Amino acid sequence: MSKQRAGVFIAFEGGDGAGKSTQAGRLAAELETRGYTVRRTREPGGTPVGEKLRSLVLDHGNGEIDAHTEALIFAASRAAHASQVIRPALGRGEIVLTDRYIDSSVAYQGAGRGLGQDAVKSLNDWATSGLQPHLTVLLDVDPRLGRSRRTAGEAAEDRLESEADDFHARIRKAFLDLAASRPGSYLVLPADLPVDELTARILARVDVLLAAPVPSFTVPAGHGTDGAGS
């Protein structure tokens, strides 16, 4: 039986190569050891339709995808993710850890592609019926470090990753601006800290969140088919 009384929603954000997946995995393992039920997920993707949208938008070779189309594909993937995965898990009282959420669209499509951060935020608030994380962990990465980490492995860069450095610099600034606008809901950490130190600092912040009173975990009602989380 799960230990927590209400669901907790935590998003990991940051530029490509920031180390989000590593830290989300470490946090999940630690929380599970303590008896919490953890749902790890990611965007784009996380549902069958979302995984198809993921390859459509990230793979090279799908023809031209203009900025508006790109933003709508990410938002469509997120709508399915919020209604089919995140809300139901929160309704069951689980801790949801997502690798990327709305801030990624605000940063990549709003700032990176120049669609406007407010417009992209509104689109995604509509797509998710206003479902916001209780905490966003932002791993702030210098775009040059991110690229050198990405290109060190075997995998080729996807459509977004292979964009120029100034694109990634705009994204970095947008993430930091989002965090600065609501500091109480963010933990911002430099991605080049030692991996163990990052994990310890994230865990310390999550401990504070888990100790917070239950009413702060209210989940707004959604438009999905699950009926949970309201």
Residues in contact with ligand TYD by CB under 6 A are 16, 21, 43-44, 58, 74, 99-100, 104-105, 108-109, 158, 160-161
CB nearer to ligand TYD: pick between 43 and 94: 43
C-alpha span between 229 and 69 (Å, rounded) = 30
C-alpha span between 54 and 162 (Å, rounded) = 16
Minimum Å gap between C-beta 99 and ligand TYD is 6
CB nearer to ligand TYD: pick between 7 and 44: 44
Minimum Å gap between C-beta 70 and ligand TYD is 7
Minimum Å gap between C-beta 126 and ligand TYD is 14
CB nearer to ligand TYD: pick between 15 and 224: 15
Question: Do residues 4 and 179 touch, judged by C-beta distance below 8 A?
Answer: no
SS3 at position 147: helix
C-alpha span between 111 and 37 (Å, rounded) = 35
Minimum Å gap between C-beta 106 and ligand TYD is 8
Residues across the chain: 230
Residue owning tokens 């050198």: 148
CA dihedral for 108, 111, 114, 115, sign (positive or negative)? positive
Name the closest residue to ligand TYD (Cβ).
108
Minimum Å gap between C-beta 156 and ligand TYD is 11
Minimum Å gap between C-beta 205 and ligand TYD is 21
CB nearer to ligand TYD: pick between 39 and 100: 100
Which residue type sits at 63? G
Backbone phi, then psi, for 133, in 5-degree steps? -65, 150
CB nearer to ligand TYD: pick between 51 and 158: 158
CB nearer to ligand TYD: pick between 105 and 128: 105
C-alpha span between 46 and 99 (Å, rounded) = 10
